[in-house]
Amino acid sequence: MNALDISHDVGATVTVRDGGTELFRYVYHPDTVQLESPKPYIHPLRTRAGKVVSLFRPHDHVWHKGIAWSLPHVGEENFWGGPTYVHGRFYVQLENNGTQAHRGVVTLNRADGTATFTHDLDWITQSGKLFFTERRTLRASLVSPHAWALTFETQMTNVSGTDVAMGSPTTKGRENAGYGGLFWRGPRSFTGGQFVTEEGMGGDEVRGRRLPWMAFAGRHDETDAQSLVLMVDDAANPNHPPQWFARTEEFACLNPAPFFSEELTVEAGATVRFRYGVGIADADASAAPALADAVREVLARSDTITAAGEPA
């Protein structure tokens, strides 16, 4: 398999390529308006064959941006974007749209077939208060001639001076709307696709189920090609296995949601850690179990890399 290449547009983006194919672009300093809770995001996201499997700023939810670490209820702050769910009032636009601001690069390298980017961020409320600090790592690796994997790792430290409860619209009273966390929005053509889990294939009825991994099998317009996007929740994550916020009928999305129906309180000064594996393949639904195994192996190798002293 080819070696990956990583390039850096300083102060803006990091791009990882597989030969002539741009696998993904990570925009860590976006020009997002405050209403959409500015945050780093991955878009475009591509398969090894070059098929785009992400969507940027769809008109129905303009704060959805490819893959992003998005949290709708961090205490009373909104780091998701747009209005906040308020029980009894539905969604209300408040002045609470926070920013995940890039602070500095820690690691940018390629070694042993992987491409790695680590940076530090500050989570700042709309009123200007520093709420959390974060160290985030993205690591890409090739797993087969038709697939590659991305690991996403975050360590968030509560520097607000008070305990903070992370939750979702469901923890605030809206049934089966437990979104929040690592969120992927798929192409329009994926609408009506299939979910694949260790229990088989399904549709929107899987939302809210507790599962260690889930994949989305979709088709592309023009070419009719099939692609597979899969997410694996690391066994060490809080509330593993997570409940999933997933849609196929209204639009395509996957989200292992750690606060779907239960808040997680991060004490003042404490650090919470999450890690995920994302598999992207030029394949149909039948390839999902093998891709899940391959992504779990990548997560296991990431343990070795971290133990060797590279920043988590």
The burial of 101, by beta-carbon neighbours within 10 Å (0-12 exposed, 13-18 middle, 19 or more buried), is given as middle
- What confidence category does residue 181 fall into, taking pLDDT thresholds of 50, 70 and 90? very high
Per-residue pLDDT at 304 = 62
Q: What is the pTM of this model?
A: 0.96
Q: Is residue 159 part of a domain?
A: yes
Q: Which residue has the tokens 């809770």?
A: 37
Which CATH number does the domain housing residue 120 bear? 2.70.98
Query: Is residue 75 assigned to a domain?
Result: yes
3-state secondary structure 39-76: CCEEEEEECCCCCECCCECCCCCCCCECEEEEEEEECC
Residue 35 contacts by C-beta under 8 Å, 6 or more apart in sequence?
Answer: 81, 82, 93, 97
Tokens of 277: 């594996």
Give the DSSP per-residue string, 169-194.
TTTTT-TT----EEEEE--GGGTT-E
Confidence of residue 302 (pLDDT cuts 50, 70, 90): confident
- Cβ atoms of residues 260 and 194 within 8 Å: no
Whether residue 38 lies inside any domain: the answer is yes
Number of domains the chain contains:
1
Q: Which is more confidently placed, 192 or 310?
A: 192
Distances (CA, A) of 224 to 51, 117, 190: 11, 33, 11
Q: Which two tokens stand for residue 229?
A: 């996007």
Task: Assess whether pLDDT exceeds 90 at residue 199.
Answer: yes
Tell me if 226 is assigned to some domain: yes
Work out the end-to-end distance of the chain between its first and last CA atoms, rounded to an integer number of angstroms: 26
HSE at residue 72, side-chain half, CA atoms within 13 A, is: 28
Considering all CA atoms of the chain, what is the largest pairwise distance in Å, rounded to the nearest integer?
Answer: 55
CA distance 117 to 109: 7
d(CA 76, CA 78): 7
- Look up tokens 């899987």; give the residue: 206
Rounded Cα distance, 300 and 65, in Å: 28
pLDDT value at position 305? 59
Query: Which tokens in the block code for residue 185?
Result: 């929005």
Q: Is 176 a domain residue? A: yes
In a 3-state reduction of DSSP, which class is residue 267?
Answer: coil
Is the confidence at residue 130, as pLDDT, over 80? yes
Q: Which domain holds residue 187?
A: 4-307
- What's the mean pLDDT when you consider all of the chain? 96
Tell me if the bond preceding 44 is cis, omega within 30° of 0.
yes
> Is position 144 within any domain?
yes
**312 domain residue, yes or no:** no
Does any domain span residue 83?
yes
